[in-house]
Amino acid sequence: MKKYSFTILIEKDEDGIYVASVPALRGCHTQAKTIEELYPRIREAIGLCLEVENQELVQNEFVGIQQIEVVV
């Protein structure tokens, strides 16, 4: 077995639901009502995404996250 380390992005939507996504794996995301529920779900989603991934994974180095405000 190969060990991977992924950066996950966690957001809270307008209904209070936590949504996690993995930028390195296209389409890899899940949601839960609590953070405690979210972690096992995103681990499962990552495992499923890795099972169907046909190409070699390139893991990017995490640099940081910023919020930016834009007025339109």
Q: CA nearest 42: which of 58, 23, 59?
A: 23
Question: Could you report the per-residue pLDDT of 1-20, keeping only the tens digit for each?
Answer: 788 889 999 999 999 999 99
* Number of folded domains that form the chain: 1
For residue 16, which amino acid is it? G
| pLDDT tens-place string over residues 10-64 | 999 999 999 999 988 989 999 999 999 999 999 999 999 998 876 667 677 888 8
The identity of residue 3, as a single letter, is K
At residue 42, φ and ψ (nearest 5 deg) are -75, -30
pLDDT of residue 19: 98
> In terms of residue numbers, what domain contains 71?
1-72
- The pTM for the full model equals 0.80
What does the pLDDT average to over 62-69? 88
Strand partners of residue 21: 9, 29
Count the Cβ atoms, other than its own, within 10 Å of residue 30. 21
- CATH of residue 60: 3.30.160.250
